[in-house]
């Protein structure tokens, strides 16, 4: 179309989008190029993690010297191009697309789960027609259960085919198709083969409208009632970046948060569904001390002191920690263990590995714990029987690992630092210190490749529960294993200055995408 122009910036392409100069690598499409200039080109079918389809025609933009409008998703940048996103021609084209998309749409936003986070709603509000010129009967197709966690509402579908392309190219399990053609087309599947792939529920997030819905989340909350916190999925050692969404201090949904280095835009179904435990009501809510009548509520200072005394009095100490605790807390537990020469152990639950074939190094990992690597870095060794060899006058510190404790040998004294007390621990604990779960505090996990990633507090802890790093930090200070600050970020800084793998890291430098730790030889997950 245009003669080759010498690049203004060698190795890069320089162009103008909405009057702003943009410099991007060759081959970048116009949507991504515009993003770098802070310009959103409205689109539906385009998704950065999927192959380009170019079918919704929403991203038509005006490029000077091009004979017609061009789809930004399927157009590579060209040297010296001048792109108009908000010209009258481009806006009219989008207005036309929006009208076409809405003619058969039920306009049922008031009862649609997607309302509030619906791109059809958003763009219509921004640049759609105010009225409808459509006077014919609307197309109607019944809802269909697609299996897995997915419900299909065809009347809202805009046939962007993101779901089909995801199952086809990313999950490599083509169970969805476009069936029929013309305005009779819909997303179809074959009777008997459902969306049972371990990563299938991503189609719900990929759907830009309310056509694919999560059955689990159905009618639970409106999007605008939700509070969101950036977090890391605790379900395995992959460390998928997620968003914890809460309503009234209750986690109601986990959704992936993009991180190109870890999970692109995806999260597996196991991770998505594994949130109910975060909201459990039978929590350890107050510090408890053993009295003649059994466990009784005590003050935090009495409880910490009692725990410190128990540790000092013990001949041998074993620290059994959960690999689901944060780096900060495990670091402090490691300090306590080192101070009293304790054995530091953990158990790791394992399950079936379930990769997402279309994304490199992304899988639901066999080790179902988010901080296996971190725990190893802080000296915790994986064992099968953590209580083996324990006897009278030995002390066992159970740090959020209630599930790993079997029958406790006679004479072993138990200090619990945890979110819950089960029957065994309730019967044996001399002191129990209630801690927040990962959704109730700040912290970091180290994933299986050594990426250190922050998670942020999403909800308030119940009653007198305190963040785990603060409880363990106070305990460590009390037994004389050092002096530790009260904030997660400060503990992290202290950890970074003393543990070489984390050297130079701060919360600020981690950002929300994380950075790689320098794993010493021998530490692998």
Q: How far apart are CA 25 and CA 39, in angstroms?
A: 17
Question: Of 2 and 297, which CB lies nearer to another protein in the complex structure?
Answer: 2
Tokens standing for 233?
């999925």
* Shortest Å distance, C-beta 354 to another protein: 19
In angstroms, what is the minimal distance from the CB of 133 to another protein?
5
Residue 51 or 511: the one with the smaller Cβ distance to another protein is: 51
215 CB burial (10 A radius; 0-12, 13-18, 19+): middle
- When the beta carbons of 59 and 432 are compared against another protein, the nearer one is 59
Cα separation, 140 vs 125, in Å, equals: 24
Backbone region of residue 484 per phi and psi (left: phi > 0; alpha: psi in -120 to 50; beta: other values): beta
Residue 375 interacts with another protein (CB under 8 A): yes or no = no
* Contacts with 243 (C-beta within 8 Å, 6 or more apart), sequence order: 228, 229, 230, 231, 254, 255, 256, 257
**Spatial separation of the C-alpha atoms in residues 362 and 355, rounded to whole Å:** 6
Q: How far is the CB of 316 from another protein (least distance, A)?
A: 59
SS3 state of residue 70:
strand
- Number of other CB atoms surrounding residue 301 within 10 Å: 11
Can you tell me which of 159, 229, 254, 432 binds another protein, judged by CB under 8 A? 159
In the complex, what is the shortest distance from the CB of residue 208 to another protein, in angstroms, rounded to a whole number? 12
Q: Identify the residue among 79, 87, 91, 100 touching another protein (CB under 8 A).
A: 100
Question: Does 401 engage in binding with another protein (CB under 8 A)?
Answer: no
**Residue reference for tokens 């196991």:** 270
Residue 479 CA, distance from chain mean position: 36
69, 242, 348, 433: which one contacts another protein (CB under 8 A)? 69
Q: How far is the CB of 1 from another protein (least distance, A)?
A: 11
Q: Check binding of 413 to another protein (CB under 8 A).
A: no
CA distance 428 to 387: 14
Q: Name which position in 60, 236, 414, 517 contacts another protein (CB under 8 A).
A: 60
Output the smallest distance, CB 26 to another protein, in A.
14
List, in order, residues 6 or more apart from 361 with CB less than 8 Å away.
Answer: 449
Within positions 103 to 142, which residues make up the interface with another protein, using CB under 8 A? 103-104, 133-138, 140
Residue nearer to another protein on the CB measure, 141 or 279: 141
Least Cβ distance, residue 188 to another protein (angstroms): 6
Which residues are registered as beta bridge partners of 397? 319, 415
| Min separation Cβ 138 and another protein, Å | 7
Q: How far is the CB of 56 from another protein (least distance, A)?
A: 6
Q: Which is nearer to another protein, 13 or 320 (CB)?
A: 13
| 96 sits near another protein (criterion: CB under 8 A) | yes
**Distance, CA of 334 to CA of 330 (rounded, Å):** 6
Q: How far apart are CA 473 and CA 331, in angstroms?
A: 9
**Per CB under 8 A, 174 contacts another protein:** yes
Nearer to another protein, 58 or 252 (CB): 58
Shortest distance in whole angstroms from residue 182 CB to another protein: 4
Question: Least distance to another protein from the beta carbon of 492, Å?
Answer: 47
Answer for which of 191, 282, 410, 423 binds another protein (CB under 8 A) is: 191
Per rule CB under 8 A, count of chain residues that contact another protein = 49
d(CA 73, CA 53): 8
User: Could you say which of 80, 106, 147, 188 contacts another protein (CB under 8 A)?
Assistant: 188
Binding-site string for another protein from residue 18 to residue 57, where x marks contact by CB under 8 A and - marks none? ----------------------------------xxxxxx
- Whole-angstrom distance between the N-terminal and C-terminal Cα of the chain? 53
Which H or E element spans position 255? strand 250-256
Considering the complex, state which of residue 52 and residue 493 has its C-beta at the smaller distance from another protein.
52
Residues near 35 by Cβ (< 8 Å), separated by ≥ 6? none
User: What are the angstrom distances between the C-alpha of 327 and each of 37, 89, 331, 336, 468?
Assistant: 37, 54, 6, 14, 11
Of 177, 309, 424, 456, the residue at the interface with another protein (CB under 8 A) is 177
Pick the closer one to another protein by CB: 135 or 315.
Answer: 135
Q: Choose the stretch contacting another protein; rule: CB under 8 A; options: 178-186, 225-233, 281-289, 515-523.
A: 178-186
Q: How far apart are CA 517 and CA 500, in angstroms?
A: 9
CB of 242 to another protein, least distance (A): 29
Q: In what order do the strands lie in the sheet with 443-446?
A: 443-446, 451-455, 515-516
Binding site for another protein (CB under 8 A): 52-58, 60, 68-69, 71, 74, 92-93, 96-97, 99-101, 103-104, 133-138, 140, 158-159, 173-185, 188-193
């Amino acid at each position: 179309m245009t003669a080759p122009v010498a690049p203004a910036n060698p190795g890069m392409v320089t162009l103008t989008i909405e009057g702003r100069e943009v410099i991007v690598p060759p081959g970048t499409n116009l949507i991504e190029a515009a993003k770098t200039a802070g310009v959103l080109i409205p689109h539906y079918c385009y998704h950065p993690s999927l192959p380009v389809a170019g079918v919704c025609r929403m991203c038509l933009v005006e490029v000077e010297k091009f004979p017609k409008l061009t789809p930004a998703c399927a157009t590579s940048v060209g040297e010296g191009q001048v792109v108009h996103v908000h010209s009258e021609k481009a806006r009219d084209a989008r207005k036309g697309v929006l009208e076409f998309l809405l003619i058969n749409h039920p306009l049922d936003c008031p009862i649609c789960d997607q309302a509030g986070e619906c791109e059809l709603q958003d763009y219509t509000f921004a640049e759609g027609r105010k009225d409808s010129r459509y006077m014919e009967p609307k197309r109607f197709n019944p809802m269909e259960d697609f299996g897995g966690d997915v419900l299909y509402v065809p009347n809202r579908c805009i046939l962007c085919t993101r779901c089909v392309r995801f199952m086809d190219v990313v999950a490599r399990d083509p169970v969805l198709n476009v069936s029929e053609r013309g305005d009779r087309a819909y997303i179809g599947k074959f009777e008997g083969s459902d969306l049972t792939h371990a990563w299938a529920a991503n189609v719900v997030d990929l759907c830009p409208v309310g056509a694919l819905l999560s059955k689990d989340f159905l009618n639970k909350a409106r999007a605008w009632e939700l509070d969101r916190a950036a977090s890391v999925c605790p379900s395995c050692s992959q460390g998928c970046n997620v968003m914890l969404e809460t309503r009234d201090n209750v986690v109601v949904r986990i959704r992936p948060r993009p991180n190109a280095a870890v999970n692109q835009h995806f999260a597996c179904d196991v991770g998505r569904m594994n949130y109910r435990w975060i909201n459990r009501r039978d929590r350890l809510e107050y510090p408890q001390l053993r009295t003649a009548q059994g466990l009784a509520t005590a003050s935090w200072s009495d409880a910490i002191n009692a725990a410190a005394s128990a540790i000092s009095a013990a001949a041998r100490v074993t620290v059994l920690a959960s690999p689901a605790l944060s780096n900060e807390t495990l670091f402090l537990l490691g300090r306590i263990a080192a101070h009293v020469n304790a054995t530091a152990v953990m158990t790791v639950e394992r399950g079936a590995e379930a990769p997402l074939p279309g994304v490199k190094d992304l899988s639901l990992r066999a080790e179902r714990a988010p901080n296996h690597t971190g725990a190893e870095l802080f000296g915790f060794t994986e064992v099968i029987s953590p209580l083996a060899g324990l006897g009278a006058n030995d002390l066992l510190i159970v740090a959020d690992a209630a599930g790993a404790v079997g029958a406790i040998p006679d004479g072993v004294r138990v200090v619990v630092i945890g979110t819950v007390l089960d029957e065994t621990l309730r019967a044996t604990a001399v002191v129990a210190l209630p801690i927040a779960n990962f959704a109730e505090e700040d912290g970091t996990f180290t994933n299986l490749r050594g990426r250190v990633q922050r998670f942020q507090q999403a909800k308030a802890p119940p009653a007198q529960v305190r963040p785990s790093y603060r409880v363990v930090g106070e305990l460590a200070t009390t037994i004389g294993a050092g002096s530790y600050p009260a904030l997660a970020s400060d503990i992290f800084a202290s950890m970074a200055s003393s543990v070489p793998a984390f050297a130079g890291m701060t919360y600020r430098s981690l950002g929300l995408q994380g950075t790689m730790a320098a794993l010493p030889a021998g530490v692998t997950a």
